[in-house]
Amino acid sequence: MIRERLLAVPGRLRLVALGFVAVLVACTLKILFWGGFGVLIMTPDEGDFCRSPEGIAVELRWLAINRNGTKFTNYGPAGTHPFPWRQAGRMGTLQTGPWFTEGVSVVMTDPEGHVLARKTMAAIRCPNT
């Protein structure tokens, strides 16, 4: 029945429909077998550390498609140790303090430690003085 309906759809639209089904199946398999996936948005995602060398505040927004909620871990610039930051639900918004500097990363995982998303702060190039 599904095959007959797909064959009745014009060529390009049929490809879009098949692509949508493939993405839906891939997402379902990822959730069932690999723990899920997530979207993490950091605003701003680059900072002017020429003017604010001590760091800047950012807003984090996330959506996790998984079974068990999320955990956030911060990683400082290279050579520093990660530290668990907080646990949260599958969706949310959070405003940080002014401690994000170049190279600081936030990693969103499920409670078992599977990485769902990661964001790293970049720096705006300082003008030559």
pLDDT at 61: 92
Q: Enumerate the β-bridge partners of residue 61.
A: 41, 93
- Widest pairwise Cα distance in the chain: 70
Position with higher pLDDT, 37 vs 115 = 115
Question: If you average pLDDT over residues 100-114, what whole number do you get?
Answer: 86
Pairing of strands 46-47, 122-123: parallel
Residue type, 5: R
* Residue extents of the structural domains in the chain: 1-34, 36-129
Q: Is the pTM of this model over 0.75?
A: no
> Within a 10 A sphere around the Cβ of 24, how many other Cβ atoms?
10
Task: Tokens for 33, please give them.
Answer: 């077998």
Contacts of 78 (CB under 8 A, 6+ apart): 103
Q: Which of 124, 128, 8, 108 is nearest to 56 (CA)?
A: 124
The rounded distance, in Å, linking the Cα atoms of 62 and 72 is: 11
- Indicate whether 109 pLDDT > 70: yes
The rounded distance, in Å, linking the Cα atoms of 22 and 17 is: 9
Position with higher pLDDT, 4 vs 127 = 127
Give residue-wise pLDDT tens across range 5-52: 555 555 556 565 666 666 666 656 555 555 567 889 999 988 888 888
Task: Tokens for 20, please give them.
Answer: 């949508």
CATH topology of domain 36-129: Immunoglobulin-like (2.60.40)
